[in-house]
Structure 1
Amino acid sequence: MIVEWLSVENYRNHRSSKLILDSRCTLVVGPNGQGKTNLLEALSLLSGSGSFRGAVAETLVRAGCAQAYVRAQVRQHRRTRLVELEIAAAGRSRAQVNGQRVRSLHDLADVVSVVVFCPDDLAIPAGGPAVRRALLDEVLTGTDRNYRSMRLDFERILRQRNNLLKQAGHQPDGDAVRTLDVWDTQMASVGEAIAQRRERLCTSLLPPALDAYCRLAGTAADLQVTYDAPWRAESLAAALTRARPDDLRRGTTTVGPHRDDVTICLDGLPARTHASQGEQRSIALALRLAQHRYTAQTSGVEPVILLDDVFSELDSRRAERLAGCLPPSQTVVTSATGHVPSGLEACRQVQVRRGEVM
């Protein structure tokens, strides 16, 4: 897959910018705070995912404007498509492909595929469970339409169950108990399927992640990536029944895929607590490289690689090793200095100043 150009209008600090991309590697250069990352973020939004910076729609729209627009021309298998996203500061955002509106923003993943490497990825091995769950969901929603539907169903069921728990209080009446039984049955079915797919994904990601980690670290190591769902020792149905009194007391669902984790160990020890920052960074990069390989193999499409000021966070040896590990996919790199390690050749370079592409 090749993105030929990207344009943004009223997006963050960009009034109107267009970025022509090389089919191999484009380097976006400019001082910090000028809008380089905004362009990568905009491109990633066209894949149907949320902001990799965790931003909400209101903050993506330029101050004083009601909407922002992101457009790109994408070429895949000799077919060219125009992808457009309208981001509303208030209300629902909309997207269309070749003028046809898409049912869900998540369906943009069928047209645009990207893998983002950014400094915040350090939180994958070092942060809380939500970060690691988000990585699995990002990979699966980008490659599996059925998983997208399951995630939407699970979120709906979870929302309804939590609302009922809050309304029912400590001593629910008969109607509340019967309704809760219905939500538990539905949650158990969908939740088991979600956990099963996440577990299979961890198994699939491990070999390429281990290979990438050893290449990045320059040494042999034992990396383990395991899906951690304690409730699977019984079943989600049984776990929900057992947790119901506590759930009623707290007014929220305490067990299920929304509380699961991914255990990452390096040489037999938890990476979150025992790995150095350099090792944690290499683990994060290795998992992103594994994500790229898995997505390419599963979808048959080579995702665009977005490197947001990643090399400045690495020592020279790791930076060169990362450059050597990158697959031959279209790549967009941001840098405040314009420097990239040997092994990565920028075929096109552009400057960004005060929200303008020079």
Structure 2
Amino acid sequence: MIVAWLGIENFRNHRATKLTLNAERTLIVGPNGHGKTNLLEALALLDGSGSFRGASAETLVRSGCDRAFVRAGIQRNRRTYLVEMEITLAGRSRVQVNGQRMKSLRDLADVVSTVVFCPADLSIAAGAPSVRRELLDNVLTSIDREYRAMRLDFERVLRQRNNLLKQVGQRPDDEALMTLDVWDAQLAAVGEAIAQQRDAVCSALTSPAHDAYCQLAGSAADLRLSYTAHWRESSLSAALAQARAEDLRRGTTTVGPHRDDMTICLDGLPARTHASQGEQRSIALALRLAQHRYTAQISGIDPVILLDDVFSELDEGRAARLVGCLPPAQTVVTSATGHVPPGIEAHSQVQIRDGEVMAA
């Protein structure tokens, strides 16, 4: 797939910006803080996965405005799509494709697919479990409609269960306990299915991530991924029953897929605690490369690659090896200096200053 053009209005520090993107590589250059990453963020929003910076609508909408717009022309499987997104300060974002309103933001994944590489990816190896869960969920939601529906169902049931736990406190009556039984049964069913899917994609990513890591590191190593859910030793239903007293005391659900993790081991040791910062950075890059390879393999579509100033974080050797690992997909690169490693020279270049295009 190709993003032919991107248009944004009142998005972050951009009042009105429109870019034509090269089908191969586009380099976006400008001083730090002038809006380069904002353009990549807008591109990534088009796949329905939300801001890769974890931003809320309040921070996406330009100061003093009540809404922002992101529009793009997409070419996929010889078809052309117009994707339009309206981000409002009040209420949910609205999206449409070729003039047709979409029920769910996440269904944009049927049209747009992106993989983002950014400095914050270091947290994949070193950060909280939620970062790794998000990676697995992003892979699955980009290729599987049923998984998207499961995630929405799980979030709904979890929200209802947590609301009930908060309301009844530590002294639930019989009616509350019966309602809790209903939520437990639903949570167990959808939670087991989610964990099974995550476990499967975790296994599928292991081989390409291992291969990519060895290429990036320039030496042999043993990188392994495993899905960690201690409740799977029995069942989620049994774990929920065992944790009920604690859940009532704390007013929240303490076991389930929303607390699981993906364990990353390098040469037999947990990367989170034993890998160096350089190794953790290579692990993160390897996982993004594995994400791209697996998504392309399953969907038959090459996701757009968004590289947000990643080369400034790498030594010369790792930067060159990353270039050698990148698949032949449409790529958009940001750089404060305009300098990129040999092999990823841009076919077109855009200058950004103060949220405006200076040259294209």
Question: What TM-score bracket applies, with the shorter chain setting the length?
Answer: over 0.9
Letter in 2 for 1:187: L
Q: Give 2:76's aligned residue.
A: 76
| Secondary structure, counterpart of 2:220 in structure 1 | coil
Q: In 1, distance between residues paired with 2:160 and 2:89?
A: 27
Which region of structure 1 is more displaced relative to structure 2, 289-298 or 166-175? 166-175
| Secondary structure, counterpart of 1:87 in structure 2 | strand
| Secondary structure, counterpart of 1:343 in structure 2 | coil
Q: Deviations over 1:40-74 (max 9, x none)?
A: 00010011011000100111011111110000000
| Secondary structure, counterpart of 2:58 in structure 1 | helix
Letter in 1 for 2:223: L
Q: Give 2:86's aligned residue.
A: 86
Q: Give 1:162's aligned residue.
A: 162
Tell me, yes or no, if the aligned pair for 1:216 and 1:282 is still in contact at 8 Å: yes
Q: In 1, distance between residues paired with 2:130 and 2:293?
A: 23
Q: Give 2:316's aligned residue.
A: 316
Q: Give 1:133's aligned residue.
A: 133
Q: Give 1:10's aligned residue.
A: 10
Q: Give 1:22's aligned residue.
A: 22
1:218-233 superposed matches below 5 A: 218-233=218-233
1:113-192 superposed matches below 5 A: 113-192=113-192
Runs of 4+ in 1 over 3 A off after TM superposition: none
| Secondary structure, counterpart of 2:22 in structure 1 | coil
Q: Give 1:236's aligned residue.
A: 236
Q: Deviations over 1:287-346 (max 9, x none)?
A: 000000111011111100000000000001000000010000000000000011012121
1:226-305 superposed matches below 5 A: 226-305=226-305
Gaps of 5+ in 1: none
| Secondary structure, counterpart of 1:33 in structure 2 | coil
Q: Give 2:344's aligned residue.
A: 344
Q: In 2, distance between residues paired with 1:169 and 1:83?
A: 46
Q: In 1, distance between residues paired with 2:235 and 2:120?
A: 34
Q: In 2, distance between residues paired with 1:216 and 1:229?
A: 30
Q: Deviations over 1:92-143 (max 9, x none)?
A: 1100011111111100010010000000000000001111111111111111
1:198-213 superposed matches below 5 A: 198-213=198-213
Q: In 1, distance between residues paired with 2:167 and 2:88?
A: 33
Q: In 2, distance between residues paired with 1:187 and 1:92?
A: 25
What TM-score does the superposition give when structure 1 sets the normalisation length?
0.99
Q: In 1, distance between residues paired with 2:16 and 2:89?
A: 17
Q: In 2, distance between residues paired with 1:189 and 1:77?
A: 36
Tell me, yes or no, if the aligned pair for 1:59 and 1:89 is still in contact at 8 Å: no
What TM-score does the superposition give when structure 2 sets the normalisation length?
0.99
Q: In 2, distance between residues paired with 1:167 and 1:33?
A: 45
Cα root mean square deviation, aligned: 0.6
| Secondary structure, counterpart of 1:345 in structure 2 | coil
Letter in 2 for 1:109: A
* Cα drift, residue 168 of structure 1: 1.4
Q: Percent identity?
A: 74
| Secondary structure, counterpart of 1:85 in structure 2 | strand
Q: In 2, distance between residues paired with 1:338 and 1:144?
A: 37
The alignment covers a number of residue pairs equal to 358
Gaps of 5+ in 2: none
* Cα drift, residue 78 of structure 1: 1.6
* Cα drift, residue 76 of structure 1: 1.2
* Cα drift, residue 261 of structure 1: 0.7
Tell me, yes or no, if the aligned pair for 1:24 and 1:329 is still in contact at 8 Å: yes
| Secondary structure, counterpart of 1:54 in structure 2 | coil
Q: In 1, distance between residues paired with 2:77 and 2:241?
A: 50
